[in-house]
A and B are shown apart, each in its own frame.
Chain A
Amino acid sequence: MDAPILSVEEVTLRFGGLAALDDLSLTMGPGELAGVIGPNGAGKTSLFNVLTGVARPQRGRVRALDRPLEGLRPFEIAALGVVRTFQNIRLFKDLSVLDNVRAALHRGAPSLAASLAARPSAARGEKGMRDRALELLERLDLGARAQERAGSLPYGEQKRLEIARALACGPKVLLLDEPAAGMNPSESAWLRAKLRSLRSEFGLSVLLIEHDMGMVMELCERLIVLDHGRKIAEGAPEEVRRDPRVLEAYLGPRRRAGGPGEAR
């Protein structure tokens, strides 16, 4: 593997007595599409929270794109190129679909002074943002929805809008938190094909949290399995699937029934 584009070293994230992440280490190579699986409450979303600066681990180091992420605020990490979607959709519900994507283009926006003074450069910048946003919406088959209120879209389309919005940020590493959850089989099949093409088109490295095993097995080159905040297995999907520890984690006796309220 090339020098990792993302690396997590011995990270521990605690909430009171509970370790959401427990001495977790993992790496990801450039261009890789890796999956993170594990039962509810395993710490998958917490891993994303740590990677994006939303949660601060008590121990350990996180690096992305050859830079340590300690002390960076979430918007700075996003600017570096590590961008996520959210498991429980976090759209700007009262804004239009178009404005959701435009908001994510903020970094390239004309300055406030230029916009208020209506300089030609600002008008060009605005036009560029609008075109780019519409193009991204088109790529996720949401072009016709541009003017609608984001909160009024059906669930599957909201999930797609989250992906469009994340792409607008110009990610190098894309973190997807259960993108297919709540999708019907045809939507989910569409998403698989879409993720493949987006990944090569945008040159993305993708870390995918997903419960849909069909999707994970088909898409991912490598799987990382978490349980109780620890990595219990890692490897090619077929190997991991047969790993007794994984079976135990998923099917073992007296599993917690579902996770408690998934954080963020």
Chain B
Amino acid sequence: MNGPGRSNLAAVALVGGCAALAWGAGLALPPYAASLLLLIGVNALLAASLNLVNGVAGQFCLGHAGFMAVGAYTAAWLGAGPLAGLFAAGGLPLQAGMACTAGAAALSAGAAGWLVGLPSLRLKGDYLAIVTLGFGEIIRVALLNSDALGGARGFIGIPLAGGPAWTFGLLAAFCLFCVRLGGTAQGRALLAVREDEIAAESLGIPATRLKVGAFTASAAAAGVAGALFAHQEGFISPDSFGFMKSMEIVVMVVLGGMGSLSGSLLAAALLTLLPEALRPLKQLTGVDLRMVLYSLALILLMLFRPGGLMGRGELWDPRGRRGP
């Protein structure tokens, strides 16, 4: 192999570039554009984390928005309740509060991921898709009916915090984790499980443990994305985390190329910007064309580039870019 050094550098450059861009943008851009960039960061984190499960480990999760919701509501509840003092104080305490809520979001969503993954990943086959589909709906319905968390009206008054440094910093950290994972024995073993689980197990690879580990890490990262989102918007509601959101993340990963980290990041940016670019069209026609476009994009992709934009390759490593 041409050394993990090269891909490490590439990942740092890629994400560092993003961060610098976002930072500059935060200062110079109008608020609308700046918030759009933060949304790209959140979606990129969601797509990158789902890629770890759907692309690298070869499992299929259809409820990623559920883990995002767990993280978002954990952060919202802590930020507006027990930790409100920290956020109100501003300055360093506010940053400490942000670190706490993001950390708690990772823990709670990670724990949810572990609980969902353990029983469903023991089995071979598509159980995970079904179970996570159900999980996403259960979370949404539970939130709708929970008065303490605002129910259908949503959760208001989440302290505004985070910003480009947090969003792109955490995104960079997760991307670095994914890139480095590729160079470890555990990362290779995950790929082996994706390729052929029975063969992997027969060669001494504990497939269930690895899949559950990857799934838990992925859910935790989705939870962090939820926390970032909550602190960016100041308001969340169960509708933000429905099946549509889960599908949106799946489409990002498929469009980018399952297994390609840079593909997921690119597709996340693309699919965040596209609906915004089409906003005038929506105003003109009065119809939300987003879902039509997603479906169309998927169909075109299946026809012309079934491996996704990047296949299994990376911007910095073209091997596998032809797709599987």
Chain A residues with CB under 8 Å of chain B are 52, 54, 73-75, 78-79, 83-84, 86, 90-96, 99-100, 102-107, 109-110, 112, 115-116, 125-126, 129, 147, 165-166, 168-169, 264
Contacts and interface: CB of A to CB of B under 8 A. Distances in A.
B320 A83 contact: no
B196 A75 contact: no
Contact of A129 (B181, B185, B205, B324): B185
A116 B177 contact: yes
Given A75-B200, A86-B202, 17 more contacts: A74-B202, A75-B202, A75-B205, A78-B203, A91-B199, A99-B188, A102-B185, A102-B188, A103-B205, A105-B185, A106-B205, A109-B184, A115-B183, A116-B181, A116-B184, A147-B1, A166-B203
Closest 8 CB pairs of A and B: A109-B185, A92-B195, A78-B204, A90-B199, A115-B184, A74-B201, A103-B192, A104-B203
B184 A112 contact: yes
Given A103-B192, A103-B203, A110 B185 contact: yes
A2 B185 CA distance: 38
B180 interface: yes
Contacts of A94: 191, 195, 312, 320, 324
A75 B312 contact: no
Contacts of B205: 75, 103-104, 106
Contacts, number: 106
B303 to A, nearest CB: 22
Given A91-B196, A94-B312, A116-B177, A165 B188 contact: no
A79 B208 CA distance: 15
B204 A107 contact: yes
Nearest to B191: A95
16 contacts: A54-B198, A54-B201, A73-B208, A75-B202, A90-B196, A94-B191, A99-B188, A99-B191, A99-B192, A103-B188, A109-B184, A112-B186, A115-B185, A115-B186, A125-B185, A147-B1
Given A91-B196, A94-B324, A99-B191, A106 B201 contact: no
A15 B208 CA distance: 25
Given A75-B205, A94-B312, A94-B320, A109 B186 contact: yes
